[in-house]
Structure 1
Amino acid sequence: MSRLNALRGRFVDAPDSLGAKARARRWSWFAASFPNLREMSVIDLGGTASAWLRAPVRPARVHIVNLEHPPADLPDWIRADVADACELPPGILDDSYDLVFSNAVIEHVGGHARRQMFADAVHKLAERHWVQTPYRYFPVEPHFLFPGFQFMPLAARTAVLRRWPLVHTPSSDRDTALRHAMEVELLSVTEMRHYFPSSRLRYERMGGLVKSIIAVKR
């Protein structure tokens, strides 16, 4: 079991993993897409302060919105609020930003209606955006590292999450595994075009196959 857990590190979590290399490439694309990033105010829907503190790029200001409470000690260029990105309070929704950033969040918000609310918030908050999500038809589901997981019946996905050692946080009981399985709904290209019709879609590939989709508006 420990050997298999170590495989997750090699594929996703370790500094020299495939996942880390993909993240570095994505940051490079992001910086190239917005060359004035150092002067911009960015709102990150669903992100974390730790991700920005590790990032090789730094905007002038970052406002993070997440359902989880942020660390108490943040640098002065990062602001963090606890809020639902699909139902932002007026104090955030009515503010003005240069750019909306979101990385692998829209697939977690829960159904078409809430994805549309999320996309509507992106369009309202700023003229420019960068919204990334894993691609539904990549053969290995990226959250659980299980081939074809997203196409399996819910009962089978639940059973996998109770036993599969490459899951980030294994679920020992059925109810937790069921909840985790239902919390992820990967998106297709058609859906991303619907939510972001005026954006350019950029495709991140692995082994020649599309691994994730990024809606970019500059």
Structure 2
Amino acid sequence: MLKTTIADPDRPGSLAHAARARRWTELLRCYPDLAEMRVLDLGGTPGSWRAAPLRPAHVVTVNLDPATARHDEPGLTAVVADACDLPSSLAHERFDLVYSNSLVEHVGGHSRRCRFAETVRGRAAHHWVQTPYRYFPIEPHWVFPGMQFLPFRARVVVSQRWPHGHIRSAGPAQAVADVAEVELLSATEMRAYFPDSDLWYERFAGLPKSLVARV
């Protein structure tokens, strides 16, 4: 039941679904011309834009998963690539907006986050980069209270045994990899990576739940 009521963004009535709806309202307030924009989505999938309440004029998604590139269609192009190291096919492309949802905490370390931020800032005049807030009481990937503050070994155990959230580790080695991949960010870190951006706090029950760096 916990996964249904909290963690499933595609289920109407879930907390995640309500949060996504609020985020879309704010996105459209910031970019009222979104329907006419060319958007580069770092870490996104075509499916998320097919389900979106509004689709921009053209969206290019960049994702490491080959499965995301199976179904190109007019106005929606999927590229299999690293968001920190875009391929030559995108080398000279400019966009109206760079969008990224819950990716920067997965790219792997400070130097990779710096490269990600350079990609974001260098490809468009506007950007919207969302990430879960490190100090929200519930870790969002496993939906486990305070997991991000536990020792690494304890987080590995949680990843193997806790039945809720988006990440279910199949065994010890996979749990180590899953836990090591996720590095939640603070507001200070987001300001350092995006110094010219406005930082918007998405709140739940009055507490900051996620951060959005936006221009």
Which bracket does the TM-score occupy, shorter chain normalised? over 0.9
Amino acid aligned to 1:127 = A
SS of match in other structure, 1:31: helix
Instruction: Check if 1:108 corresponds to 2:132.
Output: no
Q: Is the 8 A contact 1:201 1:216 kept in 2?
A: yes
The answer for the alignment partner of 2:3 in structure 1 is 8
SS of match in other structure, 1:15: coil
SS of match in other structure, 2:200: strand
CA shift at 1:35, angstroms? 0.7
The answer for the alignment partner of 2:124 in structure 1 is 126
> Which ranges in structure 1 are unaligned for 5 or more consecutive residues?
1-5
Instruction: Check if 1:207 corresponds to 2:205.
Output: yes
Q: Is the 8 A contact 1:66 1:83 kept in 2?
A: yes
Instruction: Check if 1:36 corresponds to 2:25.
Output: no
The answer for the alignment partner of 1:3 in structure 2 is none
| Pairing 1:124-203 to 2, within 5 Å after superposition | 124-203=122-201
SS of match in other structure, 2:85: coil
Q: Is the 8 A contact 2:133 2:209 kept in 1?
A: yes
Amino acid aligned to 1:10 = T
CA shift at 1:207, angstroms? 1.1
Amino acid aligned to 2:7 = V
Amino acid aligned to 2:22 = R
Q: Is the 8 A contact 1:161 1:167 kept in 2?
A: no
SS of match in other structure, 2:95: coil
Q: Which aligned runs of 4 or more in structure 1 are off by greater than 6 angstroms?
A: none
The answer for the alignment partner of 1:62 in structure 2 is 59
CA shift at 1:38, angstroms? 1.0
Instruction: Check if 1:24 corresponds to 2:21.
Output: yes
Counterpart-to-counterpart distance in 1, 2:109 and 2:97: 25
- CA displacement 1:62-111 (0-9 Å, x = unmatched): 00000012252332110011000001123213211111000000000000
Counterpart-to-counterpart distance in 1, 2:99 and 2:170: 34
> Which ranges in structure 2 are unaligned for 5 or more consecutive residues?
none
Give the CA RMSD over aligned residues: 1.0
1:46 to 43, 46, 63: 43
Amino acid aligned to 1:192 = M
CA shift at 1:215, angstroms? 0.5
Amino acid aligned to 2:44 = G
CA shift at 1:32, angstroms? 1.1
From the superposition, tell whether residues 7 and 58 of structure 1 become closer, same or farther in structure 2 (CA, over 3 Å): same
Q: Is the 8 A contact 1:65 1:81 kept in 2?
A: yes
The answer for the alignment partner of 1:95 in structure 2 is 93
From the superposition, tell whether residues 80 and 71 of structure 1 become closer, same or farther in structure 2 (CA, over 3 Å): closer
CA shift at 1:167, angstroms? 3.3
Deviates most, 53-62 or 85-94: 85-94
SS of match in other structure, 2:7: helix
SS of match in other structure, 1:28: helix
Q: What is the identity percentage for the equivalent residue pairs of Structure 1 and Structure 2?
A: 51
Counterpart-to-counterpart distance in 1, 2:166 and 2:191: 30
